[in-house]
Amino acid sequence: MRYARVSVDGRAAWGRVGEADIELLSASPIDGDPVVTGTVPRSAAVWLPPVVPSVFYAVGMNYPRHIAHAGAETPARPEVGYRANNALTGHGSPIVRPVAVEGRFEAEPELVAVIGRTLRHATYAEARAAVFGWTIGNDVSARTWQHQDRTFWRSKNSDTFKPMGPWIETDVDALAQTTTLRVNGAVRARFPTGDMVFDPFDHLAEMTKHVTVHPGDVLWMGTESVCPIEPGDTVDVEISGIGVLSNPVHLEGNHP
């Protein structure tokens, strides 16, 4: 099943995504069993981030080739960082490059786990059962800022730097898929989605030794490859079995 959040007459609504239409739902499917309240054509949908998490977790340096390229050490245990909800934007919405950004401005294609149960001190099996579904993320990064600042506050958390969507897929073996990054239709990266040092369930089991994870929280799983992007580009992140997250890149002040 595919679930999304869309804007209908300026209001956010949950929906169940079909081939041609989206069935609007009375509430979040993560929280229960909502009823259908109407339909809208998919072609008319304004896509929102498929969930707004209470906590936005993110994994770094989790693919062997990315670790080797960065000259970093392979992590000895699962660890997570955090991102900010203000950076989220939906499928089809622009990634806005601030005019102050200089140097490398890059896309990072990522698998995203959407949590469906409250977890604390979870086993691996409990963590696996707690994932409601999967979506796609693009961890846009401004590298000069990343190296200048003590934290990632602007290099990874500026407005629009975290496209996510287009929907949550609940019926897929996400770790058996392939991730593909395209810029203006040209393939710039392709890798096995599940070729991770630690998988999502490893991370959840480790995280919940110390923090409580709640329904609707998200866990971004890192990337194998990064790619430069520029204003005027269109960036597509595809994960087979889930879908395609597509976003144009605009320069701040030069978008509608």
83-117 pLDDT tens trace = 999 999 999 999 999 999 999 999 999 999 999 99
Give Cβ neighbours of residue 146 (< 8 Å, ≥ 6 apart): 152, 155, 156
Q: What is the dihedral of CA 211, 164, 253, 99, to 10 degrees?
A: 60
pLDDT score at 255: 56
What is the share, in percent, of the chain residues with pLDDT greater than 70? 99
User: Which residue ranges in the chain fall short of pLDDT 50?
Assistant: none
Average per-residue pLDDT for the chain: 97
Dihedral angle sign, alpha carbons of residues 10, 12, 16, 19: positive
User: How confident is the model at residue 69, as a pLDDT?
Assistant: 86
Model pTM? 0.97
| Res 254: pLDDT | 74
